[in-house]
Structures are given as structure tokens and as C-alpha cells.
Chains A and B, each alone.
Chain A
């Protein structure tokens, strides 16, 4: 009995050590700067796309899901949905907010299907970051040699308890969240929230048929 107690203690100790270790290694991830965070995500996505370009047949959906898996770690979908709904967000119940968040994610996923096939070995150059308290901007440029274009893309991040998460992407000065907010607002002003949800669902269903 005595030895059993000791074993149990030893076991608990190990567990606790593990917990401490985990929270420390978590701390290491937490310390990642906004640029490191964005760079890591872009590198992972580029690797997936390079793989896809080599052998694209029938791997579209799978590739897209892998990319969405990475963005799930770095994109704060709830924050993006909240900001894109603006003042209408507060009028929704938590359940509606959750449903809207997943709908918003689907909307962006749908938007990126075409972009996968448009990938042409683009290069991303990092041009610095700005940190203002809990907000930061990571400035990048996407260079497409075959098109002769250089497109500035800025990532806006928010510090969520030590973890930097992307809440907006600004392409050539156009904020994605602001752009959706203008669209959602213009629909919500003319009709109801239920109508907006239905329109998004209809659009997704229609695009999936194509």
C-alpha cells in the first residue's frame, strides 16, 4: 500500500512536470513575434502548394483543407467575423455568432479554391513589422515574376494572451475585413440578418455546383 502510494505520487509528479514542461514550451511558441508567426504559416502553405503543383490531379480539396488547417492556427476567425459584422455582431446570440464565424470561414475557403490553381511560384518578401501594444502589422510583398507584379500584402495581428493571431489581411491597401463589412452592411441595411446568412449559404451552394 505504501509503495502504491509512492508510485501514485511519482506518477502525479511526472504529470505535473509534464504540465510545467508543456506550458513552458507553449511559452516558447507564445514568444514568437508577429513576423515569425506569419513567416511560418506562409512557408508551410508554400510547401503545400509546391507539393500540389507537382501532382495536382484530384488533390484540390485535400490541399485546400491542409491550407485551411494552417490558417486555423494563425487566423482568428471569430475576431474577423466580429469586425466584419461591425455593430451587428453584438445583436447576435453567442450561438449565432459561432455559426456566423464558421460561415465566414467557409466564405474565405471558397474564395481561395481558385487561388490554389493560380499559384505560380510566387515569392514573399518580408518588409518589416510594426507593433503597437497588442496590435501589430506585418508588411510583406508578393512578387510574381511571370506577371511582372509586386503586390503589397499586410497582415494585421492581435495579441491574444501572448499569441499573435491574424485578424485582417490588407492587399494593396484594401482591408479584407473592411471590404466584407461594407458588403454585409449594405445587405443588412436593406434586409434582415437571416437574409444575410441565407445569401452567404446560397452563394456557397451555388459556387460548389460549378
Chain B
């Protein structure tokens, strides 16, 4: 009988110890909660938005443009062109922008990435039949590095400035708008702009790129909107966080 009592006491002790050790961790959590506010502040500061009224108006415009024009057109386009073909078209446009990414890799001192971009551009333009296919990835295992643009290059030195929502183009910031103007000097289409008939082709190509891209992403914006309480603020913040994350890479 005494033995049983001793075993019992031991067991109670073990149980108590077990529970105690479990309980001690939340206590630690409490003592750490002073840091929680610091940790919860981790991440990106909200982007200033002094032009909110016009930005909201342009956001509404872009939203309607998507649902009334871009989406139906892209859906029709998607019915005509099968998905693999559209992925090829996407490859073609990504290849055209390779010089932009390469220059910006160089400007950000990412010379390894710059050389990968150069090799990919060379291989895909020739073996990949003007960039419609991606032999650099499939045969030479040169996976595309992270996308770089001049907005990100500026981002190494500057903050975003303030938020902009631009008709037809959507979210941007003062810094990224300057960046895309600089980038457009590297894209081949800039040089054809000065020759009028070719300018139409360039504009047409941009339009095709947008329709093609949209056809591959139908439903994403709708889902994003469904998750949001205030879609304008949600998009503004998502844009800002995404850009800052790209810059940090």
C-alpha cells in the first residue's frame, strides 16, 4: 500500500512537472510580448498616398476597364489560342525585355545574374526561335533570375515616394514611374516610336502582351478583390509590399 502511494506521488510529480514545463513556455511568450509589437511592425511601412482622390478615381476606371474590356477580350483570345501557344507568346515578350533586366542587374552589381540574362537572351533568341521557346531553361538549366527593373535599381537608394494609380497601367509609385520611363529607353519599342508606321506595331505589340498576360491570369484579380475589404487599399498595399520585397532581394 505504501509503495502504491509512493508511485502515485511520483506520478503526480511527473504530471505536474510535465504540465509545468508546458506552462512555462507561454510564460516566456508573455515576457517576450514586449518584443511582439516590434516584430509585428516588421515588414514594410505603408506607402504615402497624397493623391488618393485621383488615384481612387483612376483605380475605378482601371477596374471597369478590366471587367468591361480587357477580360472579355482576353477570354475570347484565350479561346482562339490554346494555352501552350499563349505561354510561348509570353516567353517571346519576356525575352524582348531581357536587355532591360540585364542592364539593371548590372546596375545593382548582380553580375552573375546579368550574365545569366545575357546567356538566356542569346540562347533563346537563336535556338529558342526569337524567344518563343525557352531552351536556355530546359536544355541548359539556366533558370530566369529575379526580375530587375530601373525602379528597383533606384529603390536601392530611394523610397517609393508616393503611390500612383495610372489609367491603363495601374499601380505604380513616383519612383517606379521614373524607373519605367528609363527602362523604356532600353526596350526596342522605344526606338521604333520615332518611325510612325512602326509605332503602330509597337503599340499593337504592347496591347497583345497585355491581352496575352491577362488571358493567363483570369480569375486572379477577382479572387484578390473577394479577399479584400477595401480593394483600392489592398491593391495599393500589395503593390508596395511586393515592390519592397523585390528590392530587398
Contact = CB atoms under 8 A, between A and B. Distances in A.
B39 A135 contact: yes
A128 interface: no
Contacts of B4: 9, 13
B216 to A, nearest CB: 6
Contacts of B216: 147-148
Q: How large is the interface on A (under 10, 10 to 19, 20 to 34, 35 or more residues)?
A: 35 or more
B25 A159 contact: yes
Interface of A: 9, 12-13, 16-17, 19-20, 23-24, 26-27, 30, 83, 86, 107-108, 110-111, 113-115, 118, 133-135, 146-148, 158-162, 172-175, 177-180, 182-187, 199-200, 203, 207
B15 A83 contact: no
A175 B40 CA distance: 11
B126 to A, nearest CB: 22
Nearest to A16: B11
A27 B15 CA distance: 12
Contact of A115 (B11, B223, B230, B233): B223
A23 B19 CA distance: 8
Interface string B32-71: 1000000110011010000000000000000000000000
Given A13-B8, A174-B238, A183 B226 contact: no
Contacts of B15: 16, 19-20, 23
Given A161-B29, A183-B237, 10 more contacts: A16-B8, A20-B14, A24-B18, A107-B229, A147-B216, A158-B29, A160-B25, A177-B40, A179-B241, A183-B233
Given A17-B11, A146-B83, A159 B227 contact: no
Q: How large is the interface on B (under 10, 10 to 19, 20 to 34, 35 or more residues)?
A: 35 or more
B246 interface: yes
Contacts of B83: 146
Contact of A175 (B32, B43, B87, B223): B43
B18 A178 contact: no
Nearest to B217: A147
B192 interface: no
Sorted nearest first, the 5 A-B pairs with minimum C-beta distance are A173-B245, A111-B227, A161-B25, A182-B237, A161-B26
B226 A187 contact: no
Nearest to A117: B219
